[in-house]
């Protein structure tokens, strides 16, 4: 295991995922937080922006132009979508890059341009980018300079079903995903529809039939299966700060039942620290993973013959973003994969 310290620059460090990223890095024995950028909070200290960091010793927020990348080993970007692809070519090739936005998730630039309504300015780098679903693509993550962290919904969905697709337990037809996430998934911007008085005592679907994570999920399933597929995906906003629950309805192949699916996932993830399969018939819930890098998966036989139901919970800010970024960093630099990620979740 590598035990040399690396210097890290975090871009867009004032958002929710940036705050969680900093907290995890402070518990990591082999990193130096060398630079933190935040255009809207220039000159401020992170302790004045992220409440839980009030007693941490951290550098003030600076602009991108002020970062000396010659002294940086790794750049972790928490910038919003449609930013990093415009500036990545200004980062020296010696720096590895982990992106928490969607800018490098798509191998097909046309899909990115369509769903994010822009024009990708670094499309030549897409072919050398690894998709950062840690437990599935560990080998390519280790060898890549650029790693694109998955979206939070794709993380929960793909961890639940990719091994089942590989082992021909589930059908690629009629995949239905009902997804729910807390309001932190929308970022820290001041939006009227995310005010407490607007979301409290309510739940609603959003981006019906057009959510950007849908083609991302379809792309990775297609890469694994070698087939072009379509899924039915509907996200919902629920009145909690953090946490995500997806319920997935699937057809099985050759009479497979929940017990075969459970056995498959247990076997696939037996060496992994953060994916846990329930063997007790208890549905997943967000309170069990809140504040942790864990993913909890439960599988049930449907009352309709030939179908199973999967419920999966993650913390959208940790396993769905910042925690997975650190897990990928540990893989890239040959640290122990759990370094900095050993904290239990928050309960209650």
Residues labelled catalytic:
152
What does the alpha-carbon distance between residue 201 and residue 180 come to, in Å, rounded to a whole number?
15
Contact 108, 127 (CB under 8 A): no
Ramachandran area for residue 197 (φ above 0: left; ψ -120 to 50: alpha; else beta): alpha
3-state secondary structure of 159: helix
Q: What are phi and psi of 228, to 5 degrees?
A: -85, 125
DSSP annotation of 195 reads S
Is residue 331 within 8 A of residue 274, CB to CB? The reply is no
Please check whether residue 102 is in contact with residue 212, taking contact to mean a CB–CB distance below 8 angstroms. Answer: yes
Q: How many CB atoms lie within 10 A of CB 233?
A: 26
Residues forming a β-bridge with 177 = 233, 248
- Tokens 């864990």 correspond to 294
| Helix (H/G/I), strand (E/B), else coil: 303 | coil
What b/e readout covers 62-91, taking b as 16+ CB neighbours within 10 angstroms? bebeebebeebbbbbbbbebbbbbeebeeb
Angle at 71 (CA atoms; ends 66, 74), nearest 5 degrees: 95
Residue entry with tokens 């959208």? 316
| Cβ proximity of 290 and 347 under 8 Å | yes
Number of H helices, E strands in the chain: 9, 14
* Residue that is written with structure tokens 């640290």 in the block: 335
Tokens standing for residue 341:
């990620």
d(CA 108, CA 176): 24
């Amino acid at each position: 295991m590598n035990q040399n310290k690396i210097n890290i620059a975090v871009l867009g460090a004032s958002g929710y995922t940036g705050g969680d990223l900093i907290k995890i890095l402070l518990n990591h024995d082999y990193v130096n937080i060398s630079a933190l950028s935040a255009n809207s909070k220039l000159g401020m200290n992170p302790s004045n922006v992220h409440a839980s960091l009030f007693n941490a010793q951290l550098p003030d927020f600076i602009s991108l132009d002020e970062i000396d990348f010659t002294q940086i080993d790794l750049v972790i970007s928490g910038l919003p979508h449609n930013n990093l692809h415009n500036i990545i070519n200004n980062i020296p090739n010696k720096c590895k890059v982990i992106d928490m936005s969607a800018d490098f998730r798509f191998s097909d630039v046309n899909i990115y341009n369509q769903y994010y309504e822009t024009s990708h300015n670094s499309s030549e780098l897409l072919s050398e980018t690894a998709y950062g679903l840690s437990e599935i693509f560990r080998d390519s993550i280790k060898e890549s300079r650029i790693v694109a962290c998955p979206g939070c919904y794709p993380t929960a969905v793909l961890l639940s079903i990719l091994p089942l697709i590989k082992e021909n337990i589930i059908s690629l037809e009629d995949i239905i995903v009902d997804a729910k996430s807390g309001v932190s998934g929308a970022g820290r911007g001041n939006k009227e529809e995310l005010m407490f008085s607007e979301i409290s005592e309510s739940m609603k679907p959003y981006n019906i039939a057009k959510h950007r994570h849908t083609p991302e999920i379809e792309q990775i399933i297609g890469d694994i299966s070698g087939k072009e597929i379509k899924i039915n995906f509907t996200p919902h906003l629920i009145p909690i700060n953090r946490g995500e629950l997806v319920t997935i309805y699937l057809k099985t192949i050759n009479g497979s039942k929940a017990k075969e699916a459970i056995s498959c996932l247990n076997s696939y993830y037996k060496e992994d620290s953060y994916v846990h399969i329930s063997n007790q018939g208890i549905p997943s819930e967000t309170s069990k993973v809140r504040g942790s890098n864990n993913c909890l998966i439960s599988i049930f036989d449907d009352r309709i013959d030939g179908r199973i139901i999967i419920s999966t919970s993650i913390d959208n800010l940790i396993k769905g973003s910042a925690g997975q970024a650190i897990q990928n960093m540990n893989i890239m630099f040959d640290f122990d994969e759990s370094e900095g990620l050993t904290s239990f979740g928050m309960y209650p």
